[in-house]
């Protein structure tokens, strides 16, 4: 689908704002054009990228427990940052098995990803009702809040998507999400746990160079959509773990002094100057509990994979304060 003029203007504004900053940056949300979505699908299949395998193991082992609160009930599964929807489909099957009347509502910034999700659902789950929304998290939460009726909601934020927000933004996100939900709704959030930095390094800088191409594709997108003159071969993907921030951080490093134009506006780069493109926070289990309590969720369970690399936190919306 073609991008709307409003989306293009937002993309242009964010690119200009980021490149004009003292610490140049580009928002990671713009990784996911058609090519970027395909590259990320390839990343998820890499042997180094443990996250997808770990979370899939969790969902396969504990899907029946996750579906149990929705037994024989009307249920909307709201999938924030749906990606290709593969893991969500595991839960959709479990919900059907307990007699839930399921509607699947994937929300993603990538129209290409949503088309892929809907196509896979039509093929593999022909019984499933769907309604998709092209939106970022904030708009997705507003969409959730606007849905009336008696259908209960299971909101998914799978993968390590929450890790792309710093802690302050994550707290605000969870507060806003809690405010959009009703008593009895549930949330399932994936958190990548702190681990050996060597494991993280391999996951974010794979030997095949696919993660590097994923990062560099952002420059190609700027060239294609905003008339940019970046030469991607003059930049290098760089990823490193910051123990103090408990985060993987990704950059594009300028290999030499150069100037690139975006919509005719010039941006100068020193040799080895970085463009920050992504943060991926890593968590301790106590951090997960703190997020739930601060936002007002009731913790139901933490589900971990065998190697304890990843946790899916299952939270419930309890009665409002003061409700008997």
d(CA 62, CA 17): 43
* C-beta of residue 247 within 8 angstroms of C-beta of residue 279: yes
Residue-wise pLDDT for 51-87, tens only, equals 999 999 999 999 999 999 999 999 999 999 887 888 9
SS3 of the chain: the string is CCCCHHHHHHHHHHHHHHHHCCCCECCHHHHCCHHHHHHHHHHHCCCCCHHHHHHHHHHHHHHHHHHHHHCCCEEEEEEECCCCCHHHHHHHHHHHHCCCEEEEEEEECCHHHHHHHHHHHHHHCCCCEECCEECCHHHHHHHHHHCCCCCEEEEEECCCHHHHCCHHHHHHHHHHHHHHCCCCCEEEEEEEECCCHHHHHHHHCCCCCHHHHHHHHHHHHHHHHHCCCCCHHHEEEEEEEECCCCEEEEEEEECCCEEEEECCEEEEECCCCEEEEEEEECECHHHHHHHHHHHCEEEEEEEECCCCCEEEEEEEECCCCCCC
Helices 34-44 and 111-124, interaxial angle, to 10°? 60
pLDDT at 321: 57
Indicate whether 186 and 82 sit together in one domain.
yes
Indicate whether 135 and 210 sit together in one domain.
no
Q: Across the strands, what pairs with 155?
A: 78, 187
Indicate whether 144 and 188 sit together in one domain.
yes
Indicate whether 185 and 123 sit together in one domain.
yes
Indicate whether 208 and 84 sit together in one domain.
no
d(CA 186, CA 175): 14
Indicate whether 155 and 295 sit together in one domain.
yes
pLDDT at 323: 52
Report the number of distinct structural domains present in the chain: 2
Query: Does a structural domain hold residue 213?
Result: yes
- The whole-model pTM stands at 0.91
Query: Does a structural domain hold residue 227?
Result: yes
Indicate whether 273 and 287 sit together in one domain.
no
Burial of 323 (0-12, 13-18, 19+ CB in 10 A): exposed
* C-beta of residue 219 within 8 angstroms of C-beta of residue 228: yes
Query: Does a structural domain hold residue 108?
Result: yes
Residue-wise pLDDT for 275-321, tens only, equals 999 999 999 999 999 999 999 999 999 999 999 999 999 999 988 65
Indicate whether 189 and 202 sit together in one domain.
no
Contacts of 58 (CB under 8 A, 6+ apart): 303, 304, 305, 310, 311, 312
Indicate whether 163 and 268 sit together in one domain.
no
Indicate whether 137 and 24 sit together in one domain.
no
Query: Does a structural domain hold residue 266?
Result: yes
Query: Does a structural domain hold residue 167?
Result: yes
pLDDT at 83: 78
Query: Does a structural domain hold residue 37?
Result: no
pLDDT at 36: 92
Indicate whether 184 and 216 sit together in one domain.
no
* C-beta of residue 304 within 8 angstroms of C-beta of residue 318: no
Residue-wise pLDDT for 273-286, tens only, equals 999 999 999 999 99
d(CA 306, CA 324): 40
Query: Does a structural domain hold residue 38?
Result: no
Indicate whether 222 and 129 sit together in one domain.
no
Q: Across the strands, what pairs with 133?
A: 107
pLDDT at 282: 98
Q: What is the CATH number of the domain that holds 119?
A: 3.40.50.150
* C-beta of residue 72 within 8 angstroms of C-beta of residue 99: yes
d(CA 83, CA 272): 32
Extract the residue ranges of the chain whose pLDDT is less than 50. Answer: 1-2, 322, 324
Q: 237 lies in which domain range?
A: 5-31+197-281
Query: Does a structural domain hold residue 36?
Result: no
């Amino acid at each position: 689908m073609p991008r709307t003029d409003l989306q293009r203007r937002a993309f242009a504004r964010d690119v200009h704002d980021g490149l004009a900053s003292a610490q140049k940056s580009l928002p990671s949300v713009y990784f996911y054009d058609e090519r970027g979505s395909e590259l990320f699908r390839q990343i998820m299949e890499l042997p180094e990228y443990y996250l997808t395998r770990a979370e899939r193991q969790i969902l396969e082992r504990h899907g029946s427990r996750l579906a149990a609160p929705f037994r024989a009930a009307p249920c909307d599964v709201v999938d924030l940052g749906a990606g290709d929807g593969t893991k969500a489909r595991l839960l959709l099957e479990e919900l059907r098995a307990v007699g839930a009347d399921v509607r699947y509502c994937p929300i993603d910034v990538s129209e290409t990803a949503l088309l892929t999700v809907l196509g896979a659902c039509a093929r593999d789950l022909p019984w499933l009702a769907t309604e998709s929304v092209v939106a970022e998290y904030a708009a997705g939460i507003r969409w959730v809040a606007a849905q009336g009726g008696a259908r209960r909601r299971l909101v998914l934020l799978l993968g390590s998507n929450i890790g792309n927000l710093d802690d302050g933004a994550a707290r605000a996100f969870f507060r806003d999400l809690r405010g959009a939900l009703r008593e009895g709704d549930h949330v399932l959030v994936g958190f990548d746990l702190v681990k050996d930095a060597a494991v993280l390094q391999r996951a974010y800088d794979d030997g095949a160079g696919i993660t590097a191409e994923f990062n560099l594709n952002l420059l190609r997108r700027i060239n294609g959509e905003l008339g940019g003159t970046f030469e991607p071969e003059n930049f290098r993907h760089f990823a490193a773990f910051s123990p103090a921030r408990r985060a993987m951080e990704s950059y594009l490093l300028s290999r030499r002094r150069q100037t690139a134009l975006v919509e005719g506006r010039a941006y100068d780069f020193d040799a080895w100057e970085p463009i920050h493109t992504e943060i991926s926070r890593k968590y301790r289990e106590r951090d997960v509990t703190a997020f739930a309590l601060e936002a007002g969720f009731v913790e139901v369970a933490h589900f971990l994979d065998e190697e304890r690399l990843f946790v899916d936190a299952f939270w419930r919306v309890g009665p409002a304060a003061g409700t008997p």
